[in-house]
Every structure is written in C-alpha cells, then in structure tokens.
A and B are shown apart, each in its own frame.
Chain A
Amino acid sequence: MLKYALRRILYMIPILFGVTVITFLLFNVAAGNPAAMALGNHASAERIAQLERELGLDKPLIYQYFDFVKQVLTFDFGRSWSTKQTISSMILSGVGASLSLTVPSFFITLLITVSISLLLTQFRGSVIDKSVIVVCLAALSISSLVYILFFQYMFGYKVALFPINGWDPSWVGRWEYLTLPIIIFVVIQVGSNMLYYRTIFLDEIFQDYVRTAKAKGLSQKVILFKHVLRNAMVPIITLIVIQMPFLILGSLLLESFFGIPGVGGLVVRAINSSDFPVVKAMTVISSILYMIFQLLSDLLYAVVDPKIQLK
C-alpha cells in the first residue's frame, strides 16, 4: 500500500504541473491586464506600465510562470491585491469558519441519510419508501438559494428563532450564528444523499451473501450493520471523499447570506474585486486538496474492503 501511495503521490506531480499551467494561462493570458484592473478608473497608461513592472508582468511569460510555480511550491502566494493581507493568513482564518459550518453539517447529514436509507431497505416499495423518494426528489429539485431565502426569512426574521446574520469568532459564541445555516445545509444535502445511499443499500440487500446470512439465521441487525453497511462502504467513501475538499472550501452561498467569514466568501470577494493572486491560490489549493482526497479514498477502499488490492 505504501508503494501504491508513493506512486500516486508521484503521479500528482504532472497533474499539478498541468494545473499550474492552466491556472497561469487563465489568469495571466486570458484574463486581461491585471495591472490596469488593480489601479481602477483613474489609471493612466504610464501608471499601468509602472505597476506592470512592479508586478513583474513585463517579464517574458515563461519567467512569470516560474515565479508562479515557486509560489505554489513554497505555499507563499504573496499578498492580496485587494486587502493587502498575506494570502496564507486570509485562507487560514477562513478555513476555521468554513469548517465550523461544513463539518457538523456534513456529519449530521451523513448520520441522518445513512440511517434512514438503511432503514428504508426494510420498507422497499412500501408507502413509506415511496413517500421518502417523492420528498427527496422534490427537495432535490428546489434551488439551494430558495431554501436559504425561505429559512432565513422564516426562522431568522418572522419567527426569530435564530439570528438573521452574523458571526462570533469565539468557539462558544459562533454556534448561535451557525445553527440555522447548519440546518439549511443539512436540508439541502439530505435529498440527494438519501437517494444515493438508498440505491447503494438496495443493491446490497439483494446480494447472495445477504440471503446466505439470513439462511444462517443471523439477526437483521447483524446483517445490516456488519455485512450490508460494510459492503456498501466503498461507494459511501467515494461520496464522502468527493465532498471533503468542498468542506474546506466552505459553502459559498450560506457564508454569504449568513455573514460567516469563511473561505467561500473569500473566493467570491476575490473574484468580484479581480483579486487574482487570491483566486489563483484558491484554484491551486482546491486542485491539490482534490488530488489528496482522491488518493485518500483509494487507500480507504483497501482498508474497508480486503478484496480491493492496490497495485
């Protein structure tokens, strides 16, 4: 497994190279003149040329690309053009807020959806099962913005159960502001996840080993938790791992509407203010995260399913 992991890490190098080339071309070639954008409306040609020199934009593209690669390798993306803060400190301060929202939401969703889906296998084809499918499909087809607008209006303003918007940086105080966004996050995720897990469990429940287990007289509990759940772990892990990088990247809309100073909002602000160094850094970081979690998922497959051999 170690050999496999090392080889996969080596594979990441050309992928990372591809990511840096595409990101670089997108921002330095296709996106126009960053110096002019940074200087705003009053900028003269002379000032733009001056800033281009300062930013190293007058250097040949290949040198600019190497500067960028150096930033990626050292994880020193410099400072934001807009806020003049170091980009690493901006990201670090945002990650905590984003994770406070996404991690609890993610685990609550996982707990609810896996449990209910597992339970639903016992009622396949019944009214309960059909009703849950209809509700999930209906929930899926509603835009997440609608949930946010409705829940914020209803529970933040009308019923006033939660604060409309705000943030407390202390670990104790922040939950007051996070409860409603967490609930919304769960509601948004439940529909799609539930249908996914239900399908997986139903696939498993009709396998021969389940019939054998029943014939052997094993209890329903043992069949469900020891056999079905374990065998369904591979697709479950796939979904979990795909979602992992997005936990760190936060939930863009929820952060924006509820004033949570997370990474999602950071990216939106950077895009809106043409803060290319921040957008560039976030693009590269998300690609790296995605690659890491992909590797992690492959390794986990082997842990949960001995039939899978990593070569």
Chain B
Amino acid sequence: MHSVFETLRKMAKSFGWIVLSSTLILSISCTKKKVSDTDDTIYEIVEQNVKGMDPVYTSDVYTSKAVSQIYETLLEYHHLKRPLVLQPLLAVEMPAASEDGLTHTFKIKPGARFQDDPAFPNGKGREVTATDFIYSWKRLADPANRSDGFWIFDGRIKGLNEWRAAMEKGKANYDTPIEGLVAKDDKTLVVKLTKPYFQLYYVLAHNYSAVVPREAVEKYGKEFLNHPVGTGPYQLENWVRGSKIVMKANPTWHGQTYPTDGDPGDEEKGLLKDAGKALPFAKKLVFYEVTEDQPRWLKFMKGEVDLSTIPKDNFDSAITNGATSAELAKKGIQLLVIKEPDVTYTAFNMADKSIAENINLRRAMSLAIDTDTMIKKFYNGRAISAQSPIPPDVDAYDPDYKNPYKGFDVGKAKEFMKKAGYKEGEGPTIEYSTVSNSTSRQMAEYIQQSMAAIGVKLKVLSTDWPQFMNKIREKKAQVWGVAWLADYPDAENFLQLLYGKNISPGPNGANYVNPEYDSLYEKAALLPPGKERTEIYHKMRDILIKDSPWIPGVHRLGYYLHYSWLHNFKRHSIISNYHKYLRVNPKARAEMKVKL
C-alpha cells in the first residue's frame, strides 16, 4: 500500500507542475490590455470570409466591403442621401452623355494616383489614366479571369463581347483596341454603348468596375488578389486570411471631404457635424473575419468592435419595442433601422406544365400564406410584407400598392382551389425545394402547414445550397423560396428576374415568359429614369401579379447597432465604402470600454 501512495504522491507532484505551468500560461494570456485613448481605428466584423481583394471577384458583400476601401470606381453613392444618389468619385464630374444616350464621356480626376507599390518604377504609384479603366474593364471581360461580374457590361459596350470571344480563341490581347472604349487623352474616357443602358452609371459605382494598375496585375499574376494596389483611401497593411484584415490610410489618396448636405433630419442626428472636413477620419481599419454568431455578438458587446448587426438569437435581448434594450442603452449603443433593397419570394417553375397551366392554384397558394405571422416567427418582426418584386427606396416602389392575391385569406384561397378544379381538401401534391439549414426548413414546414389548410400537399425537399441552385438552374425544382438583394437601386434589377430571355440557367429561375412583359422590359431598358419608365415598371408589376409566377414574401429591415463613440454612421446595403466617413471618438471609447 505504501508504494501506491508513493506513486500517487509522485503523480500529484507531476500534476502540480502541470497546474503551475497552466497557471503561468493563464496569467500571461490574462494580462489586461490597456485601452488606448488616442486610437482612432475603426473595428468591424465581416460575417463571412473575404475571398480575395481583386475587384473582378466582388460578388459578395463581405469581399466588397474590403475591396471598396482600397479600390475606387468612377462613380459612387452619396453617403447621406436616400434614395441613393450617384456622385463622382474618380470622375471629376458626372459624365456627359450624347443625345442618343449611346456615348458617355468621363473626365478622370487629376491627382488620383495608385498607391505606392513595388510594381511601379521606384515603388512610387502613378496617376490614373483613361487607359487604366479600359484595361480594368477588359480584365472583367477576359474569360481567363472567370469573373462573375461581366454581366455589368455583357452586350452593352461596343466591341467588348467580340473582344472577349477573340480572347477565348487567342486572337486578341489587352492591347487590341475596342470600339466602345476609347481613351481620348490621358484623362478622358469615352464609352460607346451598343444600345441605351441607363443602369450604366449604377454599375460604374459597383466594385466590379474599379480601376486596377496593369503593372501590379502583371507583376503579381494570380497572386494579385493578395496584393491589392488601388487608388482608395486605405491600403492593405496585413491580412491573416480567415482571421483579420488590417488597413492603413493611403498617404497618396486624392482626397475628399465629408458631405455638406444630406437628407432632412440628418443635421439633427449629428450626421453633418463633420461637413467639409477632410476624409478619411480613421488612420486604420480592422476587419475581423468572424463567421459564428456568438463570438461576433460577444465581441461587439465587449466593445471590441464599433458596429454590428444583430444575430437572430440575440434579437430579443437586444431590442425591446423597436428600440435598444436597457442593457444596450446603458452601454451607449445606438440603433439604426433601414429598409433593405431586397425581396424574398416563393417561385413557381413555369416550365412545369402542372404549375404553369393553373393560375388559380398559384393564386390560392399565395392567399394561403400568412406573411405577417412569418415575419414575427422567422424575422423577429424585422421585415415588411412584399406586395410585388419591387423593394422600397427604388424607382417604381409604391408603398400604397396592394397585391390582390396577397393577404392571408384561407376562404378566398379555397375558392380559387375550387376554380382550379380541386375538391375541398384534395389539392395536388407539390414539391417544395429549400436549403437544408434550420431556419429554411422551419419556414418550409410553416408553408407546408399553410398549404395543408387549402388541401395542397407540400413535399419539402431540403438540399445544400449548391444542389438547391442546381435544381433551379436545371428546371428541376417545382416551387421554392429564395431572396434577391439589389445590385443597384433600380427596379430593373428585380424585374429582370422574370424577363423571358433570362430563363434558367439565367436569373429567371421561375422560367416565366410573357411576351407582353418582355416587350415592356425591352422598352423600359431604352428609357431614362422618369415618369414614362416608372409607368412601364408599374404595368410590368401588374402583369406579374396577375400571372403570379412568384408569391412575393417580404422586404427585410436591416437593424444596425453602433456605439455612441462612432460618428457619421449611416448605412445602405448597396454602399460598401462608407468607412472613410466614419469617425471614432477615441477618448469616449476608452472611457466606455473600461466599463464594458
């Protein structure tokens, strides 16, 4: 027995060492860091990993956020004005358009330079020229780059598609001229279109069209996306992929000042206090890549980041009666609610005869869905019922418009089922495709219950996102739910989702084809924004609602939180380069962080 205790004693001794060393590690790691009262860095979280920093690969909002700090476009959106208003960024002024709307001339801002980089002679960045834009847009069109952003120019610029085809066959290179892209001189870019394209200015504010220097692309080759060289207010200092992106102010930035005007009420909210001051305010930006909700929320609640959205599970504790809860208010957290330019919808596959030929069935199904309950159950009340595909704050959105087939009415839905030729409780069996995450499945089950009330047997099929998209592209899905977020603030971006020439595998997954709708779409495409175009958009909306290839779901509301030490925060989902306007009060942050 003695030897057992001896062994135990020795083991305990070894454990002692383990405990001691663990304590040492703990004490090293637990040393509290001092909060700096001079650090004006903006800390933010990106909710998905940033894929790379090359403008031609900016299909997601997270990558766009990082790219738009470093790269710039000819135009951008005004920081404060809503609905969105375009303004020049690398252009001196808004472009001059020819009378037929086919030629657009851009004057490039003198003094706009690429940031210093070893790619340039002596490492000194040079001025941006019109040729740089032509090169950058050719990169977007180059099939070798496999950019998913070519759609912004596809079939729009004279000679660009032909150049793309020639590149694929190896019969062209970047020096091959394109009729529709001409550098009149170093600072004058002329864009010639194949037909009027009134969304051109919007897409010229999209990150896809940002300017890149040829020298850097050629020096870094495929690694260019890890070595961004732009003209923007920030440049990359350090990037630990999947973890943290650090950017510092670009000392050779051409410069801008904070806007001097905004929307009514902006002044009262303190959003014009910095009017006319030089941008950017923050010397550094730090983006943490945090994909999980809990750490994202805890980091925000600890004051480690200045702004955040609200994870679904934390909504009830964060928001009470539409305002920040007492706990958040005590921390000085402020809430901004905006209407997102998006729409969720249930689509019918109109290539499926059993669906396409039964308009009354589609109407009945639309009337059987209780959107208000869905908003409460699945969106924490953070949405408004969509009456049509056109979301708020874009041209042709009418807040007073009421979709006659929307609004929970089981009685009316049953009448339509009767008209559709079904006896009470004996509706058809329909496959409903959804994505296999918990929220999507719960929503599908709710819709399944709603359909059961009118006798439609909904068979829910869950797959992962790629399979789900594939089913839609291959026209194999019968009915499904999905969402669309605007690329630019124009109803056209939503109405094109039902344009006959865009059917699967294009964005018109519903495979809806209506010659009248299509001809109106084509007519509207040739018109500038204005009353005539808006009227056409309304006609198109009415055709859609009558035919019901979609059940419009909701337009989501964006809830954004930020600490009171962060100033000038105004948000819109389409704008990603807002960080240059943000200003931190380092002293206020240091004082508050001690209490958090």
Taking Cβ atoms with an 8 Å cutoff, the residues of A that contact B are 31-33, 36-45, 47-48, 50-51, 54, 79, 82-86, 90, 93-94, 108, 111-112, 115, 119, 122, 149, 152-153, 156-157, 160-167, 169, 175-176, 179, 219-221, 224, 256-261, 265-266, 269, 271-274
Kindly identify, within residues 318 to 361 of chain B, every residue whose CB is under 8 Å from any CB belonging to chain A.
Answer: none
- B173 interface contact, C-beta 8 A: no
Q: How far is the CA of A266 from the CA of B241 in the complex (A)?
A: 10
Q: How far is the CA of A260 from the CA of B290 in the complex (A)?
A: 10
- Complex contact B29–A259 (CB within 8 A): no
- Complex contact A84–B52 (CB within 8 A): yes
What DSSP secondary structure best describes chain B's contact surface? helix
Chain B 143-173 interface mask (CB, 8 Å, partner A; 1/0)? 1101010110010000000000000100000
Determine how close the nearest CB of chain A comes to the CB of B499; give it in whole angstroms.
12
- Complex contact B507–A42 (CB within 8 A): yes
Closest B residue to A179 by beta carbon equals: B29
- Complex contact B505–A48 (CB within 8 A): yes
Tell whether A84 pairs with B222 under 8 Å between CB atoms, given A152-B295, A162-B30, A176-B29.
yes
User: 26 A-B contacts, Cβ less than 8 Å apart?
Assistant: A33-B470, A36-B473, A37-B466, A38-B146, A39-B146, A43-B148, A44-B502, A54-B144, A84-B54, A111-B18, A112-B18, A115-B15, A157-B302, A160-B302, A161-B30, A164-B298, A164-B299, A164-B302, A165-B290, A166-B243, A219-B3, A219-B6, A224-B7, A269-B242, A273-B51, A274-B465
In the complex, how many residues of chain B place their beta carbon closer than 8 angstroms to a beta carbon of chain A?
62
Which chain B residues lie closer than 8 Å to A273 at the CB level? 51
Q: How far is the CA of A58 from the CA of B474 in the complex (A)?
A: 17
Determine how close the nearest CB of chain B comes to the CB of A209; give it in whole angstroms.
18
Q: How far is the CA of A33 from the CA of B475 in the complex (A)?
A: 13
- B226 interface contact, C-beta 8 A: yes
- Complex contact A166–B242 (CB within 8 A): no
Determine how close the nearest CB of chain A comes to the CB of B147; give it in whole angstroms.
9
Tell whether A179 pairs with B465 under 8 Å between CB atoms, given A44-B506, A84-B222, A152-B295.
no
Which chain A residues lie closer than 8 Å to B200 at the CB level? none
Determine how close the nearest CB of chain A comes to the CB of B495; give it in whole angstroms.
15
Q: How far is the CA of A259 from the CA of B289 in the complex (A)?
A: 7
Which chain B residues lie closer than 8 Å to A149 at the CB level? 294
Q: How far is the CA of A163 from the CA of B59 in the complex (A)?
A: 32
- Complex contact B26–A259 (CB within 8 A): no
Which chain A residues lie closer than 8 Å to B466 at the CB level? 31-32, 37, 274
Q: How far is the CA of A195 from the CA of B222 in the complex (A)?
A: 51
Q: How far is the CA of A40 from the CA of B59 in the complex (A)?
A: 8
- Complex contact A45–B25 (CB within 8 A): no
Q: Which of B146, B150, B151, B302 has the most CB of A within 10 A?
A: B146
- B38 interface contact, C-beta 8 A: no
- Complex contact B467–A93 (CB within 8 A): no
Determine how close the nearest CB of chain B comes to the CB of A208; give it in whole angstroms.
20
Q: Which of B154, B243, B298 has the most CB of A within 10 A?
A: B243
Closest B residue to A259 by beta carbon equals: B243
Closest B residue to A266 by beta carbon equals: B242
Which chain A residues lie closer than 8 Å to B505 at the CB level? 36, 43-45, 48
- Complex contact A169–B506 (CB within 8 A): no
Which chain A residues lie closer than 8 Å to B573 at the CB level? none
- B547 interface contact, C-beta 8 A: no
- Complex contact B295–A175 (CB within 8 A): no
Q: A164-B299, A261-B240 given. 16 additional CB < 8 A pairs?
A: A32-B467, A36-B470, A37-B466, A44-B505, A85-B225, A122-B8, A149-B294, A160-B302, A161-B29, A162-B30, A164-B304, A179-B25, A219-B3, A219-B6, A220-B3, A221-B7
Pick the contact of A119: B8, B28, B226, B242 (CB < 8 A): B8
- Complex contact B302–A259 (CB within 8 A): no
Q: How far is the CA of A258 from the CA of B3 in the complex (A)?
A: 44
Kindly identify, within residues 86 to 133 of chain B, every residue whose CB is under 8 Å from any CB belonging to chain A.
Answer: none
Which chain B residues lie closer than 8 Å to A112 at the CB level? 18
- Complex contact B473–A33 (CB within 8 A): yes
- Complex contact A45–B506 (CB within 8 A): yes
Determine how close the nearest CB of chain B comes to the CB of A214; give it in whole angstroms.
11
Pick the contact of B294: A31, A152, A271 (CB < 8 A): A152
Pick the contact of B240: A163, A167, A256 (CB < 8 A): A167
- B256 interface contact, C-beta 8 A: no
Q: How far is the CA of A32 from the CA of B54 in the complex (A)?
A: 27
Taking Cβ atoms with an 8 Å cutoff, the residues of B that contact A are 3-4, 6-8, 10-11, 14-15, 18, 25-26, 28-30, 49, 51-52, 54, 57, 59, 143-144, 146, 148, 150-151, 154, 168, 222-223, 225-226, 240-244, 288-292, 294-295, 298-299, 301-302, 304, 464-467, 469-470, 473-474, 502, 505-507
Closest B residue to A183 by beta carbon equals: B22
Determine how close the nearest CB of chain B comes to the CB of A288; give it in whole angstroms.
24
Determine how close the nearest CB of chain B comes to the CB of A200; give it in whole angstroms.
18
Determine how close the nearest CB of chain B comes to the CB of A244; give it in whole angstroms.
23
Determine how close the nearest CB of chain B comes to the CB of A49; give it in whole angstroms.
10
Which chain B residues lie closer than 8 Å to A40 at the CB level? 59, 148
Determine how close the nearest CB of chain A comes to the CB of B24; give it in whole angstroms.
11
- Complex contact B29–A162 (CB within 8 A): yes
Pick the contact of B6: A38, A115, A221, A272 (CB < 8 A): A221
Q: How far is the CA of A108 from the CA of B14 in the complex (A)?
A: 12
Q: How far is the CA of A85 from the CA of B11 in the complex (A)?
A: 49
Which chain A residues lie closer than 8 Å to B10 at the CB level? 221
- Complex contact B4–A157 (CB within 8 A): no
Closest A residue to B469 by beta carbon equals: A37
Which chain A residues lie closer than 8 Å to B288 at the CB level? 165-166, 259
Which chain A residues lie closer than 8 Å to B28 at the CB level? 175-176
9 nearest interchain CB pairs? A32-B470, A261-B242, A165-B295, A220-B3, A42-B151, A167-B243, A274-B466, A40-B148, A157-B298
Tell whether A119 pairs with B11 under 8 Å between CB atoms, given A44-B506, A54-B143, A157-B298.
yes
Which chain A residues lie closer than 8 Å to B469 at the CB level? 36-37
Tell whether A153 pairs with B143 under 8 Å between CB atoms, given A84-B52, A84-B222.
no
- Complex contact A122–B25 (CB within 8 A): no
Determine how close the nearest CB of chain B comes to the CB of A267; give it in whole angstroms.
12
Tell whether A259 pairs with B295 under 8 Å between CB atoms, given A31-B467, A221-B6.
yes
- Complex contact B294–A122 (CB within 8 A): no
Which chain A residues lie closer than 8 Å to B465 at the CB level? 272, 274
- Complex contact A85–B226 (CB within 8 A): yes
Tell whether A175 pairs with B507 under 8 Å between CB atoms, given A37-B470, A221-B3, A257-B292.
no
Tell whether A169 pairs with B3 under 8 Å between CB atoms, given A32-B467, A45-B505, A258-B295.
no
Q: Which of B143, B144, B225, B505 has the most CB of A within 10 A?
A: B505
Determine how close the nearest CB of chain A comes to the CB of B163; give it in whole angstroms.
14
Which chain B residues lie closer than 8 Å to A51 at the CB level? 146
Which chain B residues lie closer than 8 Å to A31 at the CB level? 466-467
Determine how close the nearest CB of chain B comes to the CB of A226; give it in whole angstroms.
12
- Complex contact A161–B49 (CB within 8 A): no
